[in-house]
Amino acid sequence: MNFLADESCARPVIHALREAGHDVVAIAEVAKGTVDELVIKRALSERRILITEDSDFGEFVYARGHSSAGVMLVRFPSRVRRAKSSSVVEAVAKLGSRLWNAFTVVEPGRARIASRPPR
Kindly state the DSSP code that residue 89 receives in the 8-state scheme: H
| pLDDT tens digits for range 21-80 | 999 999 999 999 999 889 999 999 999 999 999 988 877 777 777 778 899 999 998 888
Q: Domains for the chain: give ranges and CATH numbers.
A: 2-114 (3.40.50)
d(CA 14, CA 32): 15
pLDDT for 118 equals: 47
Specify the pTM: 0.90
